[in-house]
Amino acid sequence: MKEIGIETEFITLGQLLKMTDTISSGGMAKWFLEEHEVYVNGELENRRGRKLRPEDIVNIPEVGEIQIVTAEGMDFDAD
């Protein structure tokens, strides 16, 4: 499972899709979520504005599982 560290209270699902290079621009988020299944904490999600907080797990079948963590809790030396 890949970890994405955030320095803010939350990020949106659309931001996560862009951060993971699943989409190339924020404008593609709505289209992507209409055409692909994305799960947040095991539930199907289609709102690009869905707030993701540390400990949330996002499953994008074409990409993999991603856990949101706080940036200070990440090990930046790991590959």
Q: What's the confidence (pLDDT) of residue 26? A: 85
Using a cut of 0.75, tell me whether the model's pTM lies above it: yes
pLDDT at 79: 41
What residues of the chain score a pLDDT lower than 70? 73-79
pLDDT value, residue 56: 98
Residue 79 CA, distance from chain mean position: 19
Pick from 28, 34, 36: which is nearest to 59 by CA? 36
Q: Are 63 and 22 in contact (CB under 8 A)?
A: yes
Residue 59's pLDDT is 98
Domains in the chain: ranges and CATH = 2-73 (3.10.290.10)
pLDDT at position 76 is: 45
pLDDT at res. 78: 44
Strand partners, 57: 67
